Amino acid sequence: MLKLDLHIHSQYSVDAKGTPKEIIQSLKKKGINGMCITDHNTVKGSLEALKISPKNFIIIPGAEISTLEGHILALNIGENILPKQSLEITIEKIIDEGGIPIIPHVYRNMSGIKKRKLNSMKEMINTIEVFNSCSQPLTNLKMAKIAKNNNFGGTGGSDTHEPQYAGYGYTTIDTNDENIDNIISQINYKKTWGEGITLPMDYRRNRMIKSVKQFFQRGFKRI
């Protein structure tokens, strides 16, 4: 079985720190097999990771894209996708790039795509994030319930903005085949799930305070 953290932020996100190299080192210490760096609206971090990653560590390029309705993860894309477009257009562009659109943290106030909107997108997506280490345990249970009730596949990620917490959340894939095409197929065919542990309370509290401060500093604009 493979474990990949499919939601991580590096120094190329405006609200995060840590180099791709530091993130890789942190994940390998925890026995995680690979990752997707999902920086806000840029693939720069994930492309850098591709260049420096050791051969026995899996890198899927990607980003977390800001849509008009909230954030969406884009796995397996190699180019930036313009933010602040509708969710429908963004999903279409992710798929056009050969990527996988994944809906994360539905219940998050400032960045989550609302449940009502998710319900209207069932024909366009296969997978949602069922475990996010930055979310409350009850919230992750709700996400898992949505996935099971609607026949979505599931992924997991730490959503950490600091390297030391990478790997707290991860996606399990019931295969030992590390070929990227195989892994992408497993996600597309809904054969993955998300697991992990919740990040420490003080980290999540500080993240929330920092997010609110940055929201005001940006002039009440979301990332």
- The answer to whether the CB of 129 falls within 8 A of the CB of 147 is no
Higher-pLDDT residue of 214, 22: 22
pTM of the model: 0.91
Q: Beginning with the edge strand found earlier in the chain, give each strand of the sheet holding 100-103 in spatial order.
A: 62-67, 70-75, 100-103, 127-132, 153-157
pLDDT score at 214? 54
Q: Which domains does the chain have, with CATH numbers?
A: 2-217 (3.20.20.140)
Name which of 65, 187, 64 is nearest 128 in CA terms.
187
Stretch 75-81: mean pLDDT: 97
Mean pLDDT estimate for the chain: 91
> What is the spatial distance between Cα 133 and Cα 48, in angstroms, rounded to a whole number?
24
> What is the spatial distance between Cα 3 and Cα 149, in angstroms, rounded to a whole number?
24
Buried b or exposed e, range 81-114, using 16+ CB within 10 angstroms: bebebebeebbebbeebebbbbbbbbbbeebbbe
> What is the spatial distance between Cα 101 and Cα 95, in angstroms, rounded to a whole number?
7
Q: Is residue 114's pLDDT more than 90?
A: no
